[in-house]
Amino acid sequence: MRILLLGPPGGGKGTQSKFLMEKFNIPQISTGDMLRAHVKKNTELGKKAKEFMNKGELVTDSLILDMMEVRFKDNDCKNGYILDGFPRTFPQSEFLLTFLEQNKLSLDIIFDFKIDFRIVQERIMERSKLQKRSDDSIDVIKVRLDKYIQETYPVSQVFGSKFADKYKVIDASKQILEIQKELMKILKKVEN
Ligand code: ADP
């Protein structure tokens, strides 16, 4: 099963990824988590990515694409994955589409999480009290949302038209369990 999650930061993609991961026994590929792991280990990539991340800017496409090229080769990707936070730009979506085509693979479902930006801001501020993330301050959140509108929203429009039958808009303002139910309802139809 290959699942693509789209939607703004703080929309709940990470939470639902964890749920889907267990349900389908496939890995969550979160470029944000991967980058944070690099920052923590202070790798060359981590050093470069950190500056962009702290400002809420997107990390350069070439860095992301090099990282994903390696990740897709991992053994655990054989039976599918949940893409969370990738692709975020046109070059990234081109890379994904070409990769899928070359390997004769396809996406099974695309969930686009729709949510009011005011709710997102509140959620991220709430989360920042529990988890210390250097990009969870109000100013940086604003930049992240701007980047979403400028760079990532147009990408979701492309997926919406290219994969019209597989593209599902999810109301991400609902409760976690309600969203889980909705995702499962849609996925049951995909499996049959
Ligand atoms: P959120 O979606 O809540 O902003 P993520 O954990 O997905 O959080 O990403 C955190 C930061 O990591 C982003 O603001 C950006 O700097 C960087 N990042 C993550 N994924 C990508 C990507 N696909 N392309 C460019 N930058 C990325």
Residue pLDDT, tens place only, 61-113: 999 999 999 999 999 999 999 999 999 999 999 999 999 999 999 999 999 99
Sheet of strand 81-84: strand arrangement: 28-30, 81-84, 2-6, 109-114, 167-171
Q: What is the mean pLDDT of the chain?
A: 95
Cβ–ligand 1 distance for 11 under 6 Å, the answer no
**pLDDT at position 132:** 80
Tens of pLDDT along 4-42?
999 999 999 999 999 999 999 999 999 999 999 999 999
Burial class (CB in 10 A: 0-12, 13-18, 19+), 113: buried
Q: How many CB atoms lie within 10 A of CB 150?
A: 11
Alpha carbon distances (Å) from 100 to 62, 114, 181: 18, 25, 28
Angle at 159 between CA 155 and CA 160, to 5 degrees: 110
Cβ–ligand 1 distance for 10 under 6 Å, the answer yes
Rg (CA), the chain: 16
The continuous run of DSSP H or E covering 22 comes out as helix 13-24
Question: With pLDDT > 70 as the criterion, what percentage of the chain qualifies?
Answer: 100
Q: Cα(49) to centroid of ligand 1, in Å? A: 10
**pLDDT at position 182:** 97
Q: From atom 5 of ligand 1, which residue's Cα is the shortest distance away?
A: 32
**pLDDT at position 97:** 97
Question: With pLDDT > 90 as the criterion, what percentage of the chain qualifies?
Answer: 90
Cβ–ligand 1 distance for 86 under 6 Å, the answer yes
Does the pLDDT of residue 136 top 90, yes or no? no
**pLDDT at position 96:** 98
**pLDDT at position 115:** 95
